[in-house]
Structure 1
Amino acid sequence: MPSSSFLALLGFIGAASAQNYWFSFGDSYTQTGFVTNDTLPTSGNPLGNPVYPGYTATGGANWLDFDTTTYNNSLVLTYNYAYGGATIDSSLVAPFEPTVLSVTDQVNQFLDTAASKPAETPWTSENSLFSIWIGVNDLGNSYYLSDNRTSFDTTLLNAEFALVQKLVSSPLLRPLKRNNVGARNFLFLNVPPTDRSPLMLSQDAQAQAMLKANILDFNAQLIEFTNDFKASNAGVTTFLWDANAAFTTILDDPTAYGFIDAVSYGTDTGYFWM
């Protein structure tokens, strides 16, 4: 169930106009399998391709599906560039397969297609939201590789926010709007407590503690980067949803939310981990 603050955010994107646009980037927590050269979102099919709910990590509707079709105050057309297994930049943290599209690749896809506001996607700065939920694979694939995690987390977030800046204005956009892509409304989601996942619970206590500390550091820096980004870009609005806190609340009392427990996993709706 979305939190009241998240519903307020969705009310925000519904306030601009009768038709709003959502451009999302991320990993398997967000993916639906959207590709840019197939059916685009329309009023009768707000996520475009593939057929709803798409190819999600859980096999059913995910948060982006629900928020596009149910938990909003207007028609939201969602262009979901998220790709399962993604990291921020493959040159910094390699994904599980070289074919995985990083957030760097996803943003470039957007810049090559919808960024120029073509006739079939006439979004504006006022009626669009840009979201990024990333970091799970960046940390999960690297938390044990470096002693100086704070420095590496800074490197990761520098790379992420360089991409975010391109969504505001990018020299890559051709040909007429080269200096102003136009993104102004941004939603960032932090890294959930994957140190409590069944995969990590099968590791030793030291590994779990290392990942937890890495997540806490990354999330703390994400707040700082978000604030600095907003301060450096006039007219930008930012939202940061605390996915870590939401997951923690449920994992601390799973049966109260209809789950079997906090440690099992499976394909049934009774499992928190899928």
Structure 2
Amino acid sequence: MKSSPAIALALAAYASATPTYTSHKNAFNWPSTKQLIAFGDSYTFIQGTAGHPNYSFIGDALNPAFTPADLLVDRIVQNLTGTAEGGPNWVEFLTSCGVKPGLTSPRKCKKQLWDFAYAGANTIEDASFTPLHHDHTLALEKQVKQFVEYGDPALVSTHTVKKKSDVLVAFWIGINDINDLVKLRGRNATFAPLYERVQSRQFDLVKQVYDLGYRHFLFVNLPPLDRGPSPSVNASMVAEFNTILKTHADGFQKGQRDATVLQFDVNTVLNGVLDAYRAYGFKNVTGFCAAYNQPDIVTDPGKYGCSPLDTYFWYNSGHLTSRTHEIFTGELEKFLKGKSRG
């Protein structure tokens, strides 16, 4: 499906404002990237055979530790509940790893996918700020801690990651943060200082990953949550959150001139899709199939009075369908190729 000219122009403008400074020797090159390491929430989570069911690829807050062998025998599970989208999500489409139904070893993928995202995660673990959704939830703080203590040592000691310049590290977080903050404080609160706290902490965590030797980073901003089936936030809140994210990402780039800082404006892309949804094959962009979690929904949606799931933009009240992920990932791949050097 061809991308909208408006989307292409907006992405070009956004990309031009985020220069990178990595030396040519270790320059980012998406076609030659060997691994994608991902952190985030349910938009990025994938199910693993060693993960908490419906929440993670490996471990949880109650049992975060794992051995190198534990990580390497873990398998990506692809089925209706293997992601929060009813099918492959963006990290799977981007790497072509774990897209097919069944079990997939990340080590057998041309671009390996190592996913430390946790469904329901906020950035900060602080009961007075954004309480954990569950006692087993790994907030972004704990995801990075798990990676520093167990993930990176496992990938390096087994020679799975041979050159960190061949790795792209992705962060997509904030969906739970923005929703939980408004639910806890009401829509009339002053949110900018709260969003500042979220982003300051996120980039403290990014620096921890940078200090391990990783140099290529991808940040994805908030999608148009204000256009969801039952939004708790409005467009100005989302825009403010995204502006503060961009300010911190730009600042991180200036402070770490040997890093590649890539900022993908998924908000612009998905607003463009919503505005021209029929061109993308969608029939419903305001609601969702209430029977989305029924085991036979994919094979017999008519049984529940629904159209096929890939005709819906939203999978449920808070998540995008797998088809929506596939569409914006196509734009993301073009973006990454356009930013490649070497």
TM-score (norm 1): 0.80
Pick aligned residue for 2:265 from 234, 242, 253: 242
Pick aligned residue for 1:168 from 193, 210, 222: 210
- Hey, what does 2:229 align to over in structure 1? 198
Matched to 1:76, the amino acid is: K
1:192 offset after TM fit, Å?
A: 0.6
1:83 offset after TM fit, Å?
A: 1.1
- Hey, what does 2:121 align to over in structure 1? 86
Matched to 2:224, the amino acid is: P
| Per-residue Cα deviation, 1:84-125 (whole angstroms, up to 9, x for no partner) | 111101213124323221111111111112323212533422
Matched to 1:271, the amino acid is: Y
- Judge conservation of contact 1:86–1:95 (CA < 8 Å) in 2: yes
What is the correspondence of 1:225-240 to structure 2 with a 5 Å cutoff? 225-240=248-263
Matched to 1:107, the amino acid is: V
- Hey, what does 1:175 align to over in structure 2? none
- Over the aligned positions, Cα root-mean-square deviation in angstroms equals 2.7
Of structures 1 and 2, the one scoring higher in RCO (CA 8 A, sep 6+) is 2
Please give the alpha-carbon distance, in whole angstroms, between the structure 2 residues aligned to 1:68 and 1:188: 16
> Is 1:149 matched with 2:191?
yes
- Bigger fraction of residues in helix: 2
What is the correspondence of 1:13-162 to structure 2 with a 5 Å cutoff? 13-15=30-32, 20-33=34-47, 34-35=57-58, 37=66, 38-40=70-72, 48-52=74-78, 55-69=82-96, 75-91=110-126, 92-116=129-153, 117-144=156-183, 145=185, 147-162=189-204
- Judge conservation of contact 2:37–2:115 (CA < 8 Å) in 1: yes
Q: SS at the partner of 2:192?
A: helix
| Per-residue Cα deviation, 1:130-167 (whole angstroms, up to 9, x for no partner) | 10001111001112516221111101100100100101
Please give the alpha-carbon distance, in whole angstroms, between the structure 1 residues aligned to 2:259 and 2:2: 24
- Give aligned pairs, total: 241
Distance verdict in 2 for CA 1:250–1:161, change over 3 Å: same
Please give the alpha-carbon distance, in whole angstroms, between the structure 2 residues aligned to 1:220 and 1:2: 28
- Judge conservation of contact 1:185–1:238 (CA < 8 Å) in 2: yes
Please give the alpha-carbon distance, in whole angstroms, between the structure 2 residues aligned to 1:182 and 1:157: 21
- Hey, what does 2:240 align to over in structure 1? 217
Gap regions ≥5 residues in structure 1: 42-47, 170-180, 201-206
Using the aligned pairs only, state the percent identity. Answer: 28
TM-score (norm 2): 0.65
- Judge conservation of contact 1:130–1:185 (CA < 8 Å) in 2: yes
Gap regions ≥5 residues in structure 2: 16-27, 48-56, 60-65, 100-108, 293-308, 316-342
| Per-residue Cα deviation, 1:209-232 (whole angstroms, up to 9, x for no partner) | 3xx222111101111111110110
